[in-house]
Amino acid sequence: MEIDDLYAMIPRVPCPPGCITCCENFGVPSRTPVEDERIKAYLKEKGMSVKEATGTRCPYVTERGCSIYPVRPFICRLYGTSPNYMCIENYRPERLLSLEEEEELLHLYYLHFSEERR
Ligand code: SF4
Ligand code: SF4
């Protein structure tokens, strides 16, 4: 399984343009080594540097949204789509994942991609 296959299983949340509430409140998102490498490669390609977090704000959030959106980690994609990750602005995907589906996605994520959590 590739990480993109897992991402494709996550519904999209119809976030309103410019909303960054979750990015500003939950700190630096956890990521697996493969995601870390994808982020570093993307930053390099865009001439950007790796950022350190301060407080609870993700270092990659900007006034215009996520600056690493194409390579944002699994947890950012899962947020808002399932029972334990409900959007605090009350936006919902077309179909909310069930608890079982949420558990299955998390299981697949850690099984295939998490040799060492960061
Ligand atoms: S998931 Fe919710 S809080 Fe996060 S950007 Fe979308 S609408 Fe905003
Ligand atoms: S990586 Fe992007 S989507 Fe995830 S918390 Fe940071 S700014 Fe938000």
Nearest listed ligand to the Cα of residue 77: 2
- The mean per-residue pLDDT over the stretch 83-94 comes to 96
Q: Which residues pair with 62 in a beta bridge?
A: 65
CA terminus-to-terminus distance, the chain: 20
Q: The tokens of 26 are what?
A: 């939950």
- Max Cα–Cα distance, the chain, nearest Å: 40
Distance 6 CA to ligand 1 centre (A): 20
The pLDDT mean for the chain works out to 92
Looking at the structure of the chain, the number of domains it has is 1
Identify the domain containing residue 51 by its residue range: 3-113
Distance 84 CA to ligand 1 centre (A): 14
Instruction: Name every residue whose Cβ is closer than 8 Å to that of residue 60 and which is 6 or more positions away in sequence.
Output: 23, 51, 66, 67, 68, 72
pLDDT score at 118: 47
Nearest listed ligand to the Cα of residue 72: 2
